[in-house]
Amino acid sequence: MKTEEDLFHNVCEMNVDAYLDDERYGIYTYLTEQKKNGRIRHLGFSCHGAMPVLKRFLDAYGKDMEFCQLQLNYLDWTFQGGREKVALLDEKHIPVWVMEPLRGGKLARLAPEHERLLKALRPDEEIPAWAFRFLQSIKSVKMILSGMSDMEQLEKNLRTFADERPLNGRETETLLGIADQMLSAGTVPCTACHYCVSHCPQGLDIPRLIALYNEHAYTGGGFIAPMALGALPEDKRPQACLQCRSCEQVCPQQIKISEVLADFSAKL
């Protein structure tokens, strides 16, 4: 069967070693051969991994990739490092196809105070449309995959995409400010400064674990954190924390790291 597009699915911490081990698994060889044979017209990849995974994959196969399907929206612009990921893809001239533009529907409705801020800037714009306008402001975004569950959502999306109305600087700033406020509830304000890491007798990658904790807490579960943790050796997971609190002595944000990791273990 001929396909228009094919992709390395969900490149992430769990599978990147297998994807890159072409001698053993031959996935790259198989897919690039199918492209040469004309069975695949466009070859790309989707990615839920963090920056180090994306970098490794692009260093190996970036020259052959024609698109990257990425979870991207105004929350994940900072929360999941969307800005840095898009910049790296830009360097390689790889267009972005967006997954989760509305973050599983979380961006379709906002708190009343946030909706008021947006209405003051664009009275006619519907709230979900702000998420799409944000994406229209990113030049390398060429496709937006929006899940729709009824006719009304389809009609609204058609109205939104009837024109391109990218955001100006002030609108972007307001939207990202709203994202910061949304994320501050229920997440831990780690700045990834790494001061704590050298103080951990277990050698835990504390900022990475906290980033995954935040993802898990904000999403209310989901697959990303368990998937990323599953790729770590057991002695590097939150459960390996000794509760010694030596990391907490140096944290400029005064984060109760031991409690966060204990809570993460309990949640998992």
Contact residues: ligand SF4, CB under 6 A: 190-196, 199-202, 204, 206-207, 210, 241-247, 251, 253, 255, 257-258, 261
Closest contact distance (angstroms) between CB of 245 and ligand SF4 is 5
Identify which of residues 227 and 240 has a Cβ nearer to ligand SF4 in the complex. Answer: 240
Cβ neighbours for 214, distance < 8 A, ≥ 6 positions apart: 79, 183, 187, 188, 190
CA distance 30 to 16: 16
Closest contact distance (angstroms) between CB of 240 and ligand SF4 is 7
CA distance 238 to 242: 9
Closest contact distance (angstroms) between CB of 208 and ligand SF4 is 9
Closest contact distance (angstroms) between CB of 251 and ligand SF4 is 3
Identify which of residues 96 and 190 has a Cβ nearer to ligand SF4 in the complex. Answer: 190
Closest contact distance (angstroms) between CB of 206 and ligand SF4 is 5
Closest contact distance (angstroms) between CB of 207 and ligand SF4 is 4
Q: Residue with structure tokens 């997440």?
A: 187
- Count other C-beta atoms under 10 Å from residue 172's C-beta: 16
Closest contact distance (angstroms) between CB of 252 and ligand SF4 is 6
For residues 11 and 69, is the Cβ–Cβ distance under 8 A? no
Identify which of residues 72 and 247 has a Cβ nearer to ligand SF4 in the complex. Answer: 247
CA distance 20 to 28: 8
Residue 85 gets the label, from left (phi > 0), alpha (psi -120 to 50) or beta, of alpha
Identify which of residues 179 and 261 has a Cβ nearer to ligand SF4 in the complex. Answer: 261
Identify which of residues 19 and 264 has a Cβ nearer to ligand SF4 in the complex. Answer: 264
- Output the CA–CA distances (angstroms, integers) from residue 232 to 67, 123, 128, 167, 260, in the order listed: 28, 47, 36, 39, 18
Identify which of residues 195 and 218 has a Cβ nearer to ligand SF4 in the complex. Answer: 195
Closest contact distance (angstroms) between CB of 6 and ligand SF4 is 39
Environment class of residue 87 by beta-carbon count within 10 Å: exposed (0-12), middle (13-18) or buried (19+)? exposed
CA distance 217 to 238: 14
For residues 46 and 10, is the Cβ–Cβ distance under 8 A? yes
Identify which of residues 99 and 196 has a Cβ nearer to ligand SF4 in the complex. Answer: 196
Name the 3-class secondary structure at 119.
Answer: helix
